[in-house]
């Protein structure tokens, strides 16, 4: 099920939008205080963000700029600011669409579904170079890994190790298999497998969410 993050200090409007989306089979999470958004984005995955502009704790424009530094998902501004200059600014700072209040329920749903479909098509087109499991997205061509939209700083060996795990998710992999596939004919000993996996787990903040140890044999990368 697709998930939308609704960021609006107006509780009534937020709950109305959430109800509208629920009827369309779209899950949503409401945040009425924009200062709480950053921790949430670190922990949970969302497919789209609906963002108000006029909020007391932090403006939607400032929040959009900060969000764009952490996640790469569609952002739709939903605001009472309806001047052309406001719309131009919204697009310039990273917004993907702009809906003014009061909004038409049907238009809101159509635009959200349109952006979700576009994101899905983009993901399909990138399937040959992108591996996405849980909240991890690995790009084979750019050598980038993102977790909940945040880029991870991995060494080349850690990247290759994670790529091998994700390509073989769900399979029990022996230490020997991992060493031969990731290190190949390069100099080293099999003990380096455990060392690099520990370093990778630390950067993933794993806690057995992704990689589990198969004692006496090797490891497995979990699909779910």
Quick check: do 3-125 and 130-221 share a fold?
A: no
Residue with tokens 């170079």: 129
For residue 20, pLDDT beyond 90? yes
Cis, bond preceding 102 (omega within 30 deg of 0): yes
**Tokens at residue 120, please?**
């899905």
The third-level CATH classification (topology) of the domain covering 3-125 is Rossmann fold (3.40.50)
- What pLDDT, on a 0 to 100 scale, did the predictor assign at position 127? 57
pLDDT at 10 over 80: yes
Task: Sheet containing 218-221: give its strands across.
Answer: 172-174, 218-221, 211-214
Q: How confident is the model at residue 68, as a pLDDT?
A: 85
Q: What is the pLDDT of residues 179-197, one digit of tens each?
A: 988 887 666 678 889 999 9
Report pLDDT for 188.
Answer: 67
**Domain 130-221 class?**
mainly alpha
Number of other residues whose CB lies within 10 A of the CB of residue 20: 17
Asked if pLDDT for residue 136 goes beyond 60, the answer is yes
Q: Tell me the pTM.
A: 0.58
What pLDDT does residue 125 have? Answer: 58
Could you give the 3-state DSSP secondary structure of residue 73?
coil
Could you state, in order of their start, the residue ranges of all structural domains in the chain?
3-125, 130-221
- Kindly state the average pLDDT of the residues 49-75: 89
DSSP, res 69? T
């Amino acid at each position: 099920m697709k998930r939308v993050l609704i960021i609006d200090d107006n509780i009534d409007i937020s709950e109305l939008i959430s109800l509208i989306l629920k009827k369309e089979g779209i899950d949503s999470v409401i945040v009425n205080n924009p200062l709480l958004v950053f921790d949430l984005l670190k922990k949970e995955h969302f497919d789209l963000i609906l963002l108000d502009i006029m909020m007391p704790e932090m403006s939607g424009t400032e929040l959009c700029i900060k969000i764009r530094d952490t996640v790469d998902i569609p952002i739709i501004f939903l605001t009472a600011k309806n001047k052309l200059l406001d719309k131009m600014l919204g697009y310039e700072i990273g917004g993907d669409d702009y809906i003014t209040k009061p909004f038409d329920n049907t238009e809101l749903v159509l635009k959200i579904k349109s952006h979700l479909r576009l994101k899905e098509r983009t993901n399909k087109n990138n399937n040959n170079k992108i591996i996405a499991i849980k909240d991890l997205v690995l790009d084979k061509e750019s050598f980038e890994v993102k977790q909940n939209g945040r880029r991870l700083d991995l060494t080349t060996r850690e990247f290759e190790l994670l790529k091998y795990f994700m390509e073989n998710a769900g399979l029990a992999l022996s230490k020997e298999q991992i060493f031969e596939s990731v290190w190949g004919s390069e100099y080293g000993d099999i003990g380096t497998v455990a060392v690099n996996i520990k370093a990778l787990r630390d950067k993933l903040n794993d806690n057995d969410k992704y990689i589990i140890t198969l004692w006496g044999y090797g490891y497995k990368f979990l699909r779910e």
